[in-house]
Amino acid sequence: MSKYFKLINVALFVVFISFLTSCSLFRSKEHSRTTGWEYNNPETGGFEVSELKQQPTGPGLILIEGGTFVMGATQEDLMFDWDNFPRRVTISSFYMDETEVSNVDYLEYLYWLKRVFGADYPQVYNKALPDTLVWRERLAYNEPLVETYLRHPAFHNYPVVGVSWTQAQDYCTWRTDRVNEMMLIEHGILDYDPDQKNQNNFNTEAYLAGQYEGLVNQPLENLDPSSTGTRRAGIKDGLILPKYRLPTEAEWEYAALGLIGNTLYERVVERRKYPWNGNYTRTDDRKYYGSFVANFKRGRGDYMGVAGNLNDGADIPAPIGSYWPNDYGLYNMAGNVSEWTQDVYRPLTLEDVSDLNPYRGNVFKNPVRDFEGFLAEKDSLGRIRYEEVSSEEIEGRRNFNKADHRNYKDGDIKTITTTDWKSEDEVSDNTTQEMYEYGVTTLISDQARVYKGGSWKDPAFFLSPSVRRFLDQDMATDYIGFRCAMTRVGSPIPGGN
């Protein structure tokens, strides 16, 4: 080809590239793809778009890539509860703690509560204290555990127990605020404030609502030409993480099974009974051949085996991070301690709930507002107040018709139109407890919360993630702990689509 034609080809190529880059699709990320106006420029209106492209991972969390799986029974129902009917559902990607919340994690929480509220609101600290008396047995000598399990340094990395569902919820709220405060400090927006007291403490919702100032370091520049000065960080900046919370029952079961390591081209090659392959509770790793992969009760009176050759090496809970993680990298999703989930328990929940992110327990709420429609002042502990959505707001909606849906479609008198066991004028406000004969034949109520996973006290049957059990949300035991979860914002795939 002649030099002349080569020059023509180069020129055409340059023109072609110039044409493409002039199109909105190929514009710089600093310009709107649909209008061409520049982002983050006060001279063009100051519309701000964060450069952050995906959600940062919060401390202690692991991304659980979502997908479809068969939730429910993976073994014969030895308890004859018939409450885990197999059902195919889909779980959105989310985050989950790598390990259970430990004693030292919870002690940090208690220390903060005492430092901030102890002088004027000691009840806040007292309400959060774990029930250490759960270790007491009528015919066993466990008093040393009552005195030492929570606070002795030797137990710092053991999972916290004696914590009710309600206390676990409060811990998640506190952790959300501490993590978000640290994120704003690390980005230079706020400064450390160890003198926070009572109402003047960092609360994520109060900060976003403009009801907490804190020690400001370098506030963000306000690019709106109609405003002056600076501004606080907001959701649009991507510097505020979603709430830490308890995982839903479906999320917990999905994460525990860890089928991501057992899938080939969308085909699950082996449906797991436990968080590992096979029907055995021992590893086939040659180096550790025969060792137990979870902490559980092998048989009556056998909590850890024979001296010199202990099977799981733990008579009570083992330290967090013990044994082998599952294919998501999560530790102790079978054995050690059972764990609270978010859900309200109903025997037939798996037949009733949605097949996308199934969950029973919604009580829809809004922040309290004054008569002029402005957000009400935060409470004496520095928290935004909430109330159930009003009947006026619900009117005309198609997707929900009341605030409290904990017992939606559970068969009680309020969720059916006709009944042959009570007339409408006999209906009370406590129909769920009447239907399930609370305190007579069952302990099912709107306060019954699901907990999952076997514990150090349980035989192997309960190690299956499909097994469902429940306890009142204000009760605690020596074998139930918890771990936190967080919603994944944006793409379900790590790194984006």
Q: Read off φ and ψ for residue 424, nearest 5 degrees.
A: -60, -35
| pTM confidence score | 0.90
pLDDT tens for each residue of 96-154: 999 999 999 999 999 999 999 999 999 999 999 999 999 999 999 999 999 999 999 99
**Tokens in use for 194?**
């160890």
Q: Is the pLDDT of residue 28 over 80?
A: no
Mean pLDDT of 456-485: 97
AA letter at 306: V
Q: What is the rounded distance in angstroms from the CA atom of residue 276 to the CA atom of residue 273?
A: 8
Q: pLDDT band at residue 419, thresholds of 50, 70 and 90?
A: very low
Sign for the CA dihedral angle at 183, 184, 186, 191 comes to negative
Three-state SS at 356 = strand
Q: Is the pLDDT of residue 495 over 80?
A: no
Q: pLDDT band at residue 466, thresholds of 50, 70 and 90?
A: very high
Q: Is the pLDDT of residue 18 over 70?
A: no
Q: Is the pLDDT of residue 255 over 70?
A: yes
CB 51 within 8 A of CB 435: no
Structural domains of the chain sorted by starting position, each given as residue range(s) with its CATH number in brackets: 24-53 (no CATH), 61-187+239-361+451-487 (3.90.1580.10), 407-445 (no CATH)
Structural element, H or E, at residue 177: helix 165-186
Q: What is the pLDDT of residue 27?
A: 38
The mean of the pLDDT values for the chain is 88
